[in-house]
Homo-oligomer: A and B are copies of this chain.
Amino acid sequence: MAAPNPAPAGPCKVVLAASIAKLLSQEVQAGLAALDRKPHLHGFLANKDPAARMYAEWTGKTCRENGFDFTIREVEREDLEDELRNANSDDAVDGVIVYYPVFDSKRDRTLQWTVSMYKDVEGLSPQLISNMYQNIRFLDPPNNLQKSILPCTPLACIKILEHLRVYNTFLDYGKRLFGRRITVINRSEVVGRPLAALLANDGAEVYSVDVTGVQHFSRGSGLKKQKHDVTDMEGWGLEQCLPISDVVISGVPGDSYKVPTHLIREGAVCINFSSEKVRGDSIEPVNLNMHTDNHYRTSLLMSRSAHRSTCLLSAR
């Protein structure tokens, strides 16, 4: 990725993600003020990866800046399951984050399954993931005070779409994307598929695109279904999806893939998470790195270009 540049002048509306993060941070502050003590997040570090350590320290810095307590818990990886079980039953532990990979194999999944869904800030517990796909939004019906946690990258994308008023707050909660058509390029289990499901559950018609083809995520005519269904769109490609989409979200990692921007309609909102590793969430500031080249503008914006430049958000 090129060095950050100033926002490009031109026909697109560019938004610094920092401005979105600032507002989210204010929301978090308001929530914190209602509590009688600081929430305490515990970060479990069980590998020797210096990058994981840096990320953990950065989490801690962000937590403290935002009024949370944070403790790094360095443990041997064979002890981690026990440590997580202890944390689950420890009232002093409000939230748990694990720095993956630990075993760097399928065994890591059992660690994800061990964290209590009531303390899982990453939204990786099976019940939370199932709730997300099933459009079950609360853990405590019918009281509905405790939200089912969403994974951070799809959630960051939703927060961005809310900020851009793509979510129409005039409509009822849970239906605020009704009438929007959204293309999501990427169908990974980490970002693309959960994001498509969330957007469709909020009322959008979603075209989920990857190398295997296009799938349509939708709650059906009049949002009659309580959750989205998925349909294979035989013969469809970006040629069909992009010209009818109000929003285009690209999450293809690496530099080799380019969105065919000439297919994007004027006025479309374009977001790109340039790597699967790219992360933003509702607690940590969303950092924006911007650059331009002939194909991309790495920034969040409303496309106003006659040249239909793709405009991207890099939140890491």
Contact = CB atoms under 8 A, between A and B. Distances in A.
A246 interface: yes
Nearest to A178: B267
Interface stretch (A164-172, A250-258, A278-286): A164-172
Contact of A165 (B168, B221, B266): B168
Contact of A13 (B172, B224, B265): B172
A158 interface: no
A223 interface: yes
Given A171-B13, A267-B180, A222 B165 contact: no
A268 interface: yes
Contact of A306 (B221, B268, B302): B221
Interface in A291-316: 302, 304-306
Contacts of A304: 178, 222-223
A163 interface: yes
A260 interface: no
A8 interface: no
A306 B180 CA distance: 16
Contact of A268 (B164, B170, B179): B179
Contacts of A170: 163-165, 302
A126 interface: no
B302 A178 contact: yes
A305 B171 CA distance: 14
A302 B171 CA distance: 8
A306 B165 contact: no
Contacts of A163: 170
A76 B180 CA distance: 56
Interface residues of A, number: 27
B306 A179 contact: no
A270 to B, nearest CB: 11
Nearest to A176: B165
A11 interface: yes
A112 to B, nearest CB: 36
Contacts of A224: 11, 306
Interface string A201-228: 0010000000000000000011110000
Nearest to A169: B165
Contacts of A168: 164-165
Interface string A4-23: 00000001010000000000
A33 B246 CA distance: 41
A246 B181 CA distance: 11
A267 B222 CA distance: 8
Nearest to A164: B170
Contacts of A11: 222-224
Nearest to A246: B179
A168 B15 CA distance: 15
Interface of A: 11, 13, 163-165, 168-172, 178-180, 203, 221-224, 246, 265-268, 302, 304-306
